Amino acid sequence: MSMNRRHFLQASGAVALGCSTISTAFSQAATPIKIGVLHSLSGTMAISETALKETVLMTIAQINASGGVMGRPLEAVVVDPASNWPLFAEKARQLITQDKVAVVFGCWTSVSRKSVLPVFKELNHLLFYPVQYEGEELEKNVFYTGAAPNQQAIPATEYLMGKEGGGAKRFFLLGTDYVYPRTTNKILRAFLKSKNVDEKDIEEIYTPFGHSDYQTIVANVKKFAGGGKTCVISTINGDSNVPFYKELGNAGLKAKDVPVVAFSVGEEELRGVDTKPLVGHLAAWNYFMSLKNPANEAFIKLYKDWALKQKLPNADKVVTNDPMEASYIGIHMWKQAVEKAKTTDIEPVIQAVQGQSFDAPCGFTVKMDEKNHHLHKPVFIGEIRADGQFNVVWKTPGPLRAAPWSPYISGNEKKPDYPA
């Protein structure tokens, strides 16, 4: 079932009422449905995850303003796992067993998701995960609203290899040292090998979370680029992106010479960077703030109004990005599923989420796959503009079905396309 666009716009305006007054619309007997919010509000990942927390709160307010879920208000329970991966598991258990939430929206890094997975499986609970990731996973207790590699990493690499993307022959894979970059690069190496790229034309470097000195690495990129047409594929995560992009600018490494495509850098991360030297470098996502369509205009207005009302830092300059859209879609799909199932119980809701659709800010009606718990998503490649936004230079004609098990990894062809 799709959310009616006019209903969306009406509900968007109603959010301005604010959480404090919304409760008056509900009967005193209407028990709130608790929603867990599991995002880092401190530490290295706060640069990316704080906006996702705000997106969840904004969407809860929007839903409450239009009558809640089955006549009941939603109530957020916010925790801060503080970019501490074991703490994610502790906080997830707390949300489920103590706070008695009906669902959890959260995590950014794959290491945080891997940390909480055993908790959700043990307690048979439900996580909506809103960020692009490495695939190689398909869990009954998770719905993945971010991209799998075939919805981001593979199309971006194909674009860079093509004439339109500069015809790259050499590939510098640069990432943060954890499971998402390493597994994504394992898939990309296999993909490049299938395209007859020689091992000597692939370099692979990792830095720890919070790394800040990229002078030597950027010098190595320049040296590597001396061997032929080179691109950088970046899976750097968190606040390390700021010094990396600053060093690119300092070194004069321009997009026309060595284009960088990033999978974890969007509008939010670029807010802290002078983007003028970065014009023309690329990011691959399934949504950009610069997309022109009515659903996106309403989404942007909804978030800007929320930021001003909540007095968020630099509220007049807030941006929207891909994981924010994915969070927003996930909450609405969960709402639709609860209303279809007529209960918040986990098993019926899991069944009801499958096949849900939603008119998304990306401009497409996106669907949760009936089998594999992943969202069908369009792919966009954007060039960084001087104002920190993106010009779309390439896109798919429509949403792609996710392939959680990459065909470039041996043995994956035998794995089932549903939670086993």
Confidence (pLDDT) at 400: 98
Confidence (pLDDT) at 420: 83
Candidates 358, 334, 399, 287; CA nearest to 5 is 358
0.85 surpassed by pTM: yes
Residues with Cβ < 8 Å from 217, sequence gap 6 or more?
174, 205, 207, 244, 247
Confidence (pLDDT) at 6: 42
Query: Is 418 a residue whose pLDDT tops 60?
Result: yes
Count CA atoms closer than 13 A to 144's CA, side-chain side. 31
Q: Looking at the DSSP assignment, which residues form a beta bridge with residue 234?
A: 174, 262
For residues 74-83, give the mean pLDDT. Answer: 98
Q: What does pLDDT average to over the chain?
A: 93
Confidence (pLDDT) at 27: 63
Which is more confidently placed, 293 or 5? 293
Confidence (pLDDT) at 28: 60
Query: Is 63 a residue whose pLDDT tops 60?
Result: yes
Helices (H), ranges, 166-260: 179-194, 215-225, 241-250
Query: Is 381 a residue whose pLDDT tops 90?
Result: yes
pLDDT tens digits along 111-166: 999 999 999 999 999 999 999 999 999 999 999 999 999 999 999 999 999 999 99
Query: Is 9 a residue whose pLDDT tops 70?
Result: no
Kindly state the tokens that stand for 154. Answer: 């593979």
Query: Is 354 a residue whose pLDDT tops 50?
Result: yes
SS3 sequence, 311-365? CCCCHHHCCCCHHHHHHHHHHHHHHHHHHHHCCCCHHHHHHHHCCCEEECCCCCE
